[in-house]
Amino acid sequence: MPQSTSSDNPSPQFGRQKPRRLRAVAVIPTLFTLGNLVCGFAAIHYAAKPIGPSAFLGWSTLTIAGSLVFLGMFFDGIDGLAARLTKSASGFGAQLDSMADMVTFGAAPAFMMLRLVSSYYGGEHYTGILGPDADNIYAKLMWAIAAIYICCAALRLARFNVEVTSTAAQDHRYFRGLPTPGAAGAVASLTLLHQHLLVITYGNDAPDGFGRSSSLLIPLVTILCALAMVSRLRYAHAFNRWFRGKRDFGWLIRVILPLAFLPFWFQETTALLFTFYALSGPLGKVWSAFPRRSTLAAVNKSNEA
């Protein structure tokens, strides 16, 4: 009789494994995660529309899209909290969260950037989206920046899932690379600020070329955030690093002041906060390169002895 080959009798190590069945799903955290996903999808929907007033409070379509990205951040933060409170954190929830984040913090901000730039550089009465099939290098470059941002967001989320397996708070005080919500917040907040200044602050009295020239800042921020996501720069986990545990009174004042500005200057405050957070990684790297004064004093003292 002919001997059986390895393909006839696969070994347990390399053979086809029996798929595991998901028996239960945590309802509340899953609903919050799906809420994040829907916010991202809705943000893309509104960003796809020609920029202009909408039926919702007369807001610009891009303003609604940016606001939905921030609403997605709320759901993204609350689903993890709900999972910890109900003790229902699972691998399923982590994977679903990454998929939702890819839409809300990956695809939506990149598409918003393209929609904004397309309205100024696509020609008169242009309602489409700049892409690689355009007849000018600038349009191709803008599409490439959006594509790079999406790829970096996917790489950032996949790396996080592989490298971080613990759900303990002490293991989540810092991130390696700019988190996708932080990158999306920087792009979305500056887009919101652009629309606010153009529509509300200036209106018909906007300086000539203001909207067109200021829109060039958004692609620059987008590509810088993309590179920061795949870097090894250290970023603080905002909640675990700054809001857990006891803090002194001075720290409380520093936190309350930005919150006090939010109701009155929401667009300006959020743009400053997210820009500062995106810059905190490289600034922290530069700061750590300089020896501390106490270390220098100790070295000088030992040399004198």
Residue 193 has which token pair? 């600020």
Which pLDDT score, from 0 to 100, does residue 244 have? 59
Q: DSSP secondary-structure letter at 291?
A: P
Q: Are 187 and 62 in contact (CB under 8 A)?
A: no
Q: What is the mean pLDDT of the segment spanning 81-85?
A: 80
- With vertex at residue 16, the alpha carbon angle to CA 13 and CA 22, rounded to the nearest 5 degrees, is 105
Which pLDDT score, from 0 to 100, does residue 2 have? 46
Identify the CATH assignment for 27-239+263-304 out of 1.20.120.1760, 2.60.120.10, 3.30.70.270, 3.30.70.120: 1.20.120.1760
Greatest mean pLDDT among 196-210, 223-237, 250-264 lies in 223-237
User: In this predicted model, which residue has the larger pLDDT, 34 or 260?
Assistant: 34
Q: What percent of the chain has pLDDT over 90?
A: 40
SS (H, E, C) 30-88: HHHHHHHHHHHHHHHHHHHCCCCECCCCCCEHHHHHHHHHHHHHHHHHHHHHHHHHCCC
Cβ within 8 Å of residue 261, ≥6 positions away:
268, 269
- The Cα 51–Cα 62 span in angstroms is 6
255-283 pLDDT, tens digit each? 777 778 777 888 899 999 999 999 998 98
Which pLDDT score, from 0 to 100, does residue 153 have? 97
User: In this predicted model, which residue has the larger pLDDT, 24 or 214?
Assistant: 214
As a whole number, the mean pLDDT across the chain is: 81
pLDDT greater than 60 at residue 202: yes
Q: Which of 36, 170, 158, 30 is nearest to 103 (CA)?
A: 36
Q: Which of 298, 112, 135 is nearest to 219 (CA)?
A: 112
124-144 pLDDT, tens digit each? 556 677 778 777 788 889 999
90-107 pLDDT, tens digit each? 788 889 999 999 999 999
- The Cα 6–Cα 240 span in angstroms is 51
Q: How many DSSP H helices and E strands does the chain contain?
A: 12, 2
Q: Which of 54, 304, 79, 300 is nearest to 199 (CA)?
A: 54
pLDDT greater than 50 at residue 14: no
Which pLDDT score, from 0 to 100, does residue 228 have? 96
Domain boundaries, the chain: 27-239+263-304
Q: Are 46 and 108 in contact (CB under 8 A)?
A: no
- With vertex at residue 277, the alpha carbon angle to CA 174 and CA 94, rounded to the nearest 5 degrees, is 45
Q: Output Rg (C-alpha) for the chain, integer angstroms.
A: 24
- The Cα 102–Cα 109 span in angstroms is 10
pLDDT greater than 50 at residue 230: yes
Q: Are 104 and 37 in contact (CB under 8 A)?
A: yes
Which pLDDT score, from 0 to 100, does residue 299 have? 47
Confidence of residue 188 (pLDDT cuts 50, 70, 90): very high
Q: Are 123 and 134 in contact (CB under 8 A)?
A: no
pLDDT greater than 80 at residue 291: no
Q: Are 250 and 296 in contact (CB under 8 A)?
A: no
Which pLDDT score, from 0 to 100, does residue 207 have? 82
